[in-house]
Amino acid sequence: MSDASQPLPGADDRLIPASLLSRLERLQLTTRRRLAGGLAGEHRSPRHGSSLDFADYREYYPGDDLRRIDMHAYARLDKLLLKLFEAEDDLALRLLIDTSGSMAGAKLARAAQVAGALGFSGLVRRDVVTVHTFPLERQAPRFRGRAASAPLLNFLGGLEASGDTPFAAATLRTLARPGPPGLTVVLSDLLTPEWEEGIRNLPARLGDLVVVHVLDQTDLRPDLSGDLELVDAESGARVQVSLSAKVSADYAKLATRWADEVAARVAATGGAYLRVFTDAPLEDVILGQARAAGVLR
C-alpha cells in the first residue's frame, strides 16, 4: 500500500486533502446487497470462490476438485460433499453527478469532493469507477486501479455547472448502459420536479443505491428578507417576492419537509441517504456520515 499521506502524484490536492486520502485507504465501499462483479477484487460476492470464508456445501459431481471434499462430513453422513467458499469480486461504482446551474459554486465543489472520496476508496480496492454527469451529454469516463486516482480527482475538479436538471432522463440513460450490478451514487441538490421519478428509476439491475443530497444551508433556511427579485439559476426566470420573517419561517418548514420526504423516498427504495451541507467539514461528511450510513467501512 502506498503512502497517501503525501500528495497524490499528478492530482490537484485542493479537491481532497492528502491526509483524508490516507485515511480512505484503510476503508472500502459497502453495499446492502451482495453483488457479483467481474474481476478479482475485495468485496463479497454471491458466487463461490477460493477465499478462506466457508459459505455452504453441495454434492460432489464427477470432475469436481477432490481437494474440496469434506472428509469429516463424509464420515458422518456417508455423502461426498464439497465445501464452497465466499468469492471476492470487484464492485462497479457509478457516480451520477448533477452539474446543472443550481449546483454552481459550493454545491458542485462538495459533490465533486464526496464523489472523489468514494471513487478513490473504490479504486484502491480495485473497483471500477464510472462518472456520469447531467445535463451535459458527454461520454462517461471509466477509471480502474489506484493509478487512475489522480485522473479521477482531476476530472471531478474540472466539472462546471450550467443548464437545467433532466434528472429522470439522466437516471434512465445511466441504467440503460450495459454493465454488472453495482453501486450507483447520485450527488445532487434534487431541486427539480423530477426528483421523485428519478429516484424511482434508480434501484435497477439488482444494484444498490446511495443518494447524496447536497444542499446549502440557505436551501432550507433562506437568509434574505424584504422585497426582492429572485432569478432561477437554471432557466433565468425572474419572480418578485416579499420575504417577511413569517414567510421565511413558513418556507423553512416546507423545505425541511421536502428534504425529509426525499430521505423517506430513498429509504423506501432500499437505498442509503446522506444529507450533506456545503459548510460541513469534509472529514465529518466522509468519515462520519458516510460510515454511519453504511456506505464506507
pTM: 0.79
Helix (H, G, I), strand (E, B) or coil at 20: helix
- Alpha-carbon torsion (269, 173, 205, 96), positive or negative: negative
- 140: cell is 462517461
Q: Burial, 60: exposed, middle or buried (Cβ in 10 Å; 0-12, 13-18, 19+)?
A: middle
Residue 127 gets which letter from DSSP?
A: -
The CATH 3.40.50.410 domain(s) of the chain lie at 91-292
Q: How confident is residue 50, by pLDDT bands cut at 50, 70 and 90?
A: very low
Q: For residues 239-253, b (16+ Cβ closer than 10 Å) or e, as one string? A: eeeebeeeeeeeeee
Scan for cell 465466499, then name that residue: 86
pLDDT tens-place string over residues 143-187: 988 889 999 999 999 999 988 888 888 887 776 665 667 899 999
**Residue 85 scores a pLDDT above 60:** no
pLDDT of residue 87: 42
Neighbours of 200 (CB within 10 A): 13
Mean pLDDT in residue range 132-149:
84
pLDDT of residue 161: 93
Rounded Cα distance between 62 and 50, Å, is: 19
Mean pLDDT in residue range 207-228:
90
CATH topology of domain 91-292: Rossmann fold (3.40.50)
Percent of the chain at pLDDT > 70 equals 78
Which range is most confident: 15-19, 77-81, 181-185, 228-232?
A: 15-19
- CB neighbours of 155 closer than 8 A, spacing ≥ 6? 131, 141
Q: How far is CA 295 from CA 88, 129, 229, 238, 242, in A?
A: 18, 15, 40, 39, 42
Q: How many helices (H) and strands (E) does the chain have?
A: 10, 10
